[in-house]
């Protein structure tokens, strides 16, 4: 990345009542623009105006104004911002260039109060600054969502495991059904040919033959209806078998269930009683703590003021409390009787009170443990009771469903018997209509009807197998798609889980690289190296296994004799700290890819750096921003390239 990826033409900035500016309009060409002027010529105010238009909320409103505005004309688009003073604060409205200015505030708007520069100058841990633009919560939420998606895919892939082994079996079944279908069709054709030959041998009138054909068609319809009834009966019988199996399992489950030994209401009563005792102990512990604290304070002050004794202000209150709490103990203590005794006697009394407090606290903890135990037991009893009730309810429903299926089977049996009788009557009628010569034809028609029904059954089975094969092939395609999707989710999870660490590492690497280059350019005599080291430390809160990363800034200097030694940031000159802060901000600018969102880098407060080095810093920074706007004093600006745009009147 050599320059900003936001390529722009000139930018017009109009500002009113920003910082110290009354009103101004300035055109900024791509490249370096120098804001040249003495102090109090509103150079920093103009930079604030640019910041406000870009999205920052750090700029200030003119002290004597209640409202100000900034307008940026950028690449044919207009971005406007208003600043309004309300209840002592400045409120920002409008549509700025950036939705979220966090990264730009840290790494692109490098004014004197910039936090990245200040963190270096103060020697603070730089990791917090580097990582601030990263929404860690959003990343963790995305990690959780992607992990859930991958788990769901894993579950589905587990369901689809071995799905391709179904294809050979189904395809074999389909071939077998097709062969049977061809055989039955051939048999049907032979029977139909035999019927035609038999009909041709009979000398009957056309009306007579149509009557006979109608009779046979009626028989065929009746046989088809009979097959439907038989299929429905077989379905009901299969349902009964499944329900019988479920009923057996439910009955076995009920036999294994242990009936709850205790009524939940009785457990509730016991819990209420224990909670009441615990509240009494809490009150007692509070009183004991008050008495102990009172005595400890009196000993610490060294002055036992008898007239001031009393927890609630009443005379003799502490004596009453001690008498109630130290049952059977020595009641002659200095602060209750007023006599002078040795301090050791008072200390012994306090120690006895502490022992009593410990006993009561132990009793309270025992009560809480018993309450927790009973609460868990009550939950277990309720869960078991509900489970038994659900099983009994389902068992009742199953019995009802079985009874309904059996009633339906009885109805179907009656309908089948009736249909069989009807077929016998129809066949007899058809035979009588044809006479003795039609006995063979009747038999042939019966065979044809049975073959047609069998063919229809084979067709249905074949359609079912075709549908199963389609499902399996679709499942295989789904599995392949899910495996690709899972691989993508895994890569995304790796990226998300390493993003925070990667950005930090990139920022540190970028800082070290640029710091080396800048030090070479600026030629500080006794600074060999300034670099950031990433270190992992145990988290300060002491949680086991929790590691925190820190970014520590190191300075290596050299003596006149050429020997190297470790120095601290505090020993850097103002100029050296300023340059280090700028390079740190540039590293953040590159690591967070701020150049993809904003084409500006703003520089101010460079006076502590000598003019020649300012020129080199500006030349180095201009490679990384479409617009580099620098506020300089006239003598510093004189040392810079004459080809830079200069704005002197703001």
Q: Rounded to whole angstroms, how far apart are CA atoms 601 and 111?
A: 10
DSSP state of 100: -
Average pLDDT rounded to a whole number, residues 174-179: 94
Taking 80 as the threshold, does the pLDDT of residue 316 lie above it? no
Lowest model confidence (mean pLDDT) among 257-266, 272-281, 563-572 = 257-266
Q: Which pair of tokens denotes residue 494?
A: 């790796």
Tens digit of each residue's pLDDT (9 = 90 or more) over 355-390: 888 888 888 888 888 988 888 888 888 888 888 889
Question: Taking Cα atoms as reference points, which of 150, 13, 147 lies closest to residue 73?
Answer: 13
User: For position 527, what pLDDT does the model report?
Assistant: 85
Q: What is the pLDDT confidence band of residue 258, given thresholds at 50, 70 and 90? A: low
- Written out in words, the top-level CATH class of the domain with range 1-126+524-650 is alpha beta
Q: Which pair of tokens denotes residue 642?
A: 């004459």
How many residues does the structure list for the chain? 650
User: For position 202, what pLDDT does the model report?
Assistant: 52
Q: Are 600 and 101 in contact (CB under 8 A)?
A: no
Question: Taking Cα atoms as reference points, which of 616, 551, 633 lies closest to residue 584?
Answer: 551
Q: Which residues contact 173 (CB under 8 A, 6 or more apart)?
A: 465
Interhelix angle 317-325/343-434, nearest 10 degrees = 60
Average pLDDT rounded to a whole number, residues 489-507: 85
Q: Name the 3-class secondary structure at 489.
A: helix
Q: Which residue has the tokens 């802060």?
A: 581
User: For position 400, what pLDDT does the model report?
Assistant: 93
Percentage of the chain modeled with pLDDT above 70: 85
Neighbours of 410 (CB within 10 A): 12
Residue ranges per domain, the chain?
1-126+524-650, 163-250+421-468, 264-407
User: For position 199, what pLDDT does the model report?
Assistant: 64
Tens digit of each residue's pLDDT (9 = 90 or more) over 429-473: 766 665 555 567 667 777 887 888 889 889 989 999 999 999 998
Q: What is the pLDDT confidence band of residue 510, given thresholds at 50, 70 and 90? A: confident
Q: Name the 3-class secondary structure at 376.
A: helix
Q: Rounded to whole angstroms, how far apart are CA atoms 11 and 647?
A: 14
Q: How far is CA 625 from CA 30, 295, 450, 583, 597, in A?
A: 9, 70, 88, 14, 11
Query: How does DSSP assign 163-203, residue by residue?
Result: GGGHHHHHHHHHHHHHHHHHHHHHHHHHHHHHHHHHHHHS-
Burial 538-573 (b: 16+ CB within 10 A, else e): eeeeeeeeeeebebebebebeeeeeeeeebebeebe
Q: Which residues contact 221 (CB under 8 A, 6 or more apart)?
A: none
Q: Which residue has the tokens 């077929």?
A: 423
How deeply is 386 buried, as exposed, middle or buried, from its count of CB atoms within 10 A (0-12, 13-18, 19+)? exposed
Q: Which residues contact 69 (CB under 8 A, 6 or more apart)?
A: 14, 15, 16, 17, 80, 81, 82, 83, 94
User: For position 435, what pLDDT does the model report?
Assistant: 55
User: For position 262, what pLDDT does the model report?
Assistant: 67
Neighbours of 63 (CB within 10 A): 9
User: For position 458, what pLDDT does the model report?
Assistant: 92
Q: Are 240 and 402 in contact (CB under 8 A)?
A: yes
How deeply is 103 buried, as exposed, middle or buried, from its count of CB atoms within 10 A (0-12, 13-18, 19+)? buried
How is the chain split among helix, strand and coil, in percent rounded to 5? 65, 15, 20
User: For position 242, what pLDDT does the model report?
Assistant: 92
Tens digit of each residue's pLDDT (9 = 90 or more) over 8-44: 568 999 999 999 999 999 999 999 999 999 988 999 9
Q: Rounded to whole angstroms, how far apart are CA atoms 157 and 152?
A: 9
Q: What is the pLDDT confidence band of residue 484, given thresholds at 50, 70 and 90? A: very high
Q: Rounded to whole angstroms, how far apart are CA atoms 508 and 505?
A: 5
Tens digit of each residue's pLDDT (9 = 90 or more) over 93-151: 999 999 999 999 999 999 999 999 998 888 887 888 888 888 878 888 888 899 999 99
Q: Rounded to whole angstroms, how far apart are CA atoms 70 and 48?
A: 10
Question: Taking Cα atoms as reference points, which of 634, 596, 630, 600 lies closest to residue 616?
Answer: 630
Name the most confidently modeled range: 246-250, 294-298, 325-329: 246-250
Q: In this structure, is the dihedral angle defined by the CA atoms of residues 197, 198, 201 and 206, taken in order, positive or negative? A: negative
Q: What is the pLDDT confidence band of residue 341, given thresholds at 50, 70 and 90? A: low
Q: Are 95 and 51 in contact (CB under 8 A)?
A: no
Q: In this structure, is the dihedral angle defined by the CA atoms of residues 190, 194, 200 and 206, taken in order, positive or negative? A: negative
User: For position 504, what pLDDT does the model report?
Assistant: 79
Q: In this structure, is the dihedral angle defined by the CA atoms of residues 502, 503, 506 and 508, taken in order, positive or negative? A: negative
User: For position 551, what pLDDT does the model report?
Assistant: 78
Q: Which residues contact 136 (CB under 8 A, 6 or more apart)?
A: 500
Alpha helices in 28-135 (DSSP H): 43-54, 102-107, 115-121, 127-131
Q: In this structure, is the dihedral angle defined by the CA atoms of residues 463, 465, 469 and 475, taken in order, positive or negative? A: positive
Q: Which residue has the tokens 């999205």?
A: 55
Average pLDDT rounded to a whole number, residues 494-514: 83
Q: Rounded to whole angstroms, how far apart are CA atoms 143 and 257?
A: 42
Taking 80 as the threshold, does the pLDDT of residue 198 lie above it? no
User: For position 166, what pLDDT does the model report?
Assistant: 86
Q: Are 479 and 163 in contact (CB under 8 A)?
A: yes
Q: Are 226 and 450 in contact (CB under 8 A)?
A: no
Q: Name the 3-class secondary structure at 301.
A: helix
User: For position 283, what pLDDT does the model report?
Assistant: 85
Taking 80 as the threshold, does the pLDDT of residue 321 lie above it? no
Percentage of the chain modeled with pLDDT above 90: 36
Round the average pLDDT of the chain to a whole number and report it: 83
Q: Which pair of tokens denotes residue 13?
A: 């900035």
Average pLDDT rounded to a whole number, residues 560-584: 85
Average pLDDT rounded to a whole number, residues 421-435: 75
Q: Rounded to whole angstroms, how far apart are CA atoms 360 and 357?
A: 5
Q: What is the pLDDT confidence band of residue 415, given thresholds at 50, 70 and 90? A: very high
- The two most distant CA atoms of the chain are separated, in Å, by 147
Q: Are 4 and 108 in contact (CB under 8 A)?
A: no
Q: Where are the beta strands (DSSP E) in 571-638?
A: 600-603, 627-632
Q: Rounded to whole angstroms, how far apart are CA atoms 130 and 144?
A: 24
Helix (H) or strand (E) holding 538: strand 527-538
Q: Rounded to whole angstroms, how far apart are CA atoms 495 and 436?
A: 89
Lowest model confidence (mean pLDDT) among 128-132, 213-217, 567-571 = 213-217
Average pLDDT rounded to a whole number, residues 261-290: 83
Q: In this structure, is the dihedral angle defined by the CA atoms of residues 293, 294, 295 and 300, taken in order, positive or negative? A: positive
User: For position 555, what pLDDT does the model report?
Assistant: 86
Q: How far is CA 213 from CA 210, 316, 450, in A?
A: 5, 121, 16
Q: What is the pLDDT confidence band of residue 545, given thresholds at 50, 70 and 90? A: very low
């Amino acid at each position: 990345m050599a320059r900003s990826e936001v390529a722009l033409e000139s930018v017009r900035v109009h500002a009113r009542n920003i910082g110290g500016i009354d009103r101004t309009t300035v055109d900024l060409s791509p490249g370096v623009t120098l804001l040249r002027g003495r102090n109090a010529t509103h150079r920093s105010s103009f930079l604030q105006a640019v910041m406000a238009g870009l999205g920052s909320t750090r700029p200030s409103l003119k002290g004597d104004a209640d409202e100000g505005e900034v307008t940026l004309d950028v690449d044919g688009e207009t971005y406007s911002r208003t600043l309004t003073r309300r209840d002592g604060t400045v409120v920002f409205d409008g549509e700025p260039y950036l939705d979220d200015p966090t990264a730009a505030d840290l790494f692109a708007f490098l004014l004197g109060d910039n936090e990245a520069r200040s963190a270096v100058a103060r020697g603070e841990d730089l990791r917090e600054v580097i990582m601030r633009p990263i929404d860690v919560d959003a990343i963790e939420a995305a990690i959780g969502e992607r992990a859930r998606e991958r788990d769901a895919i894993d579950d589905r892939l587990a369901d689809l495991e071995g799905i391709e082994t179904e294809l050979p079996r189904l395809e074999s079944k389909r071939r077998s059904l097709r062969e049977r279908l061809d055989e039955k069709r051939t048999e049907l054709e032979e029977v139909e040919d035999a019927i035609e030959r038999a009909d041709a041998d009979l000398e009957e009138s056309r009306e007579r033959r149509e009557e006979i054909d109608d009779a046979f068609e009626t028989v065929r319809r009746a046989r088809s209806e009979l097959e439907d009834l038989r299929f429905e009966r077989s379905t009901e019988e299969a349902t009964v078998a499944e329900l019988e199996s479920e009923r057996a399992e439910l009955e076995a489950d009920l036999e294994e269930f242990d009936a709850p030994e205790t009524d939940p209401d009785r457990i509730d009563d016991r819990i209420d009683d224990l909670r009441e005792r615990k509240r009494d102990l809490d009150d007692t512990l509070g009183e004991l703590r008050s008495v102990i604290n009172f005595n400890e304070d009196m000993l610490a002050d060294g002055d036992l003021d008898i007239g001031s004794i009393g927890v609630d202000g009443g005379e003799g209150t502490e004596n009453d409390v001690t008498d109630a709490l130290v049952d059977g103990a020595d009641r002659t203590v200095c602060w209750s009787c007023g006599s002078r005794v040795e301090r050791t006697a008072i200390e012994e009394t306090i120690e006895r009170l502490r022992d009593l407090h410990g006993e009561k606290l132990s009793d309270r903890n025992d009560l809480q443990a018993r309450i927790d135990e009973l609460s868990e037991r009550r939950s277990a009893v309720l869960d078991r009771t509900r489970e038994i009730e659900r099983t009994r309810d389902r068992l009742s429903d199953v019995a009802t469903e079985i009874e309904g299926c059996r009633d339906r089977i009885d109805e179907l049996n009656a309908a089948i018997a009736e249909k069989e009788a009807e077929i016998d009557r129809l066949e007899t009628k058809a035979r009588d209509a044809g006479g003795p010569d039609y006995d063979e034809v009747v038999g042939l028609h019966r065979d044809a009807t049975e073959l047609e029904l069998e063919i229809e059954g084979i067709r249905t089975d074949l359609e079912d197998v075709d549908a199963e094969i389609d499902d399996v092939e679709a499942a295989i395609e789904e599995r392949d798609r899910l495996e690709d999707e899972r691989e993508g989710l895994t890569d995304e999870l790796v990226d998300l889980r390493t993003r925070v660490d990667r950005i930090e590492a990139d920022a540190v690497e970028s800082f070290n690289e640029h710091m080396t280059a800048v030090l070479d350019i600026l030629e500080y005599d006794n600074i060999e190296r300034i670099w950031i080291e990433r270190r992992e430390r145990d988290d300060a809160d002491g949680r086991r296994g929790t590691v925190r990363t820190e970014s520590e800034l190191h300075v290596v200097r050299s003596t006149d004799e050429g020997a190297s030694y470790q120095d601290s940031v505090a020993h850097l000159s103002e100029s050296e700290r300023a340059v280090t802060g700028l390079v740190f901000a540039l590293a953040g600018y590159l690591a967070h890819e701020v150049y993809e969102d904003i084409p500006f880098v703003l520089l101010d407060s460079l006076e502590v750096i000598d003019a020649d080095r300012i020129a080199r810093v500006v030349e180095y920074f201009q490679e990384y921003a479409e617009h580099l706007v620098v506020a300089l004093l006239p003598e510093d600006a004189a040392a810079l390239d004459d080809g830079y745009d200069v704005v002197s009147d703001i």
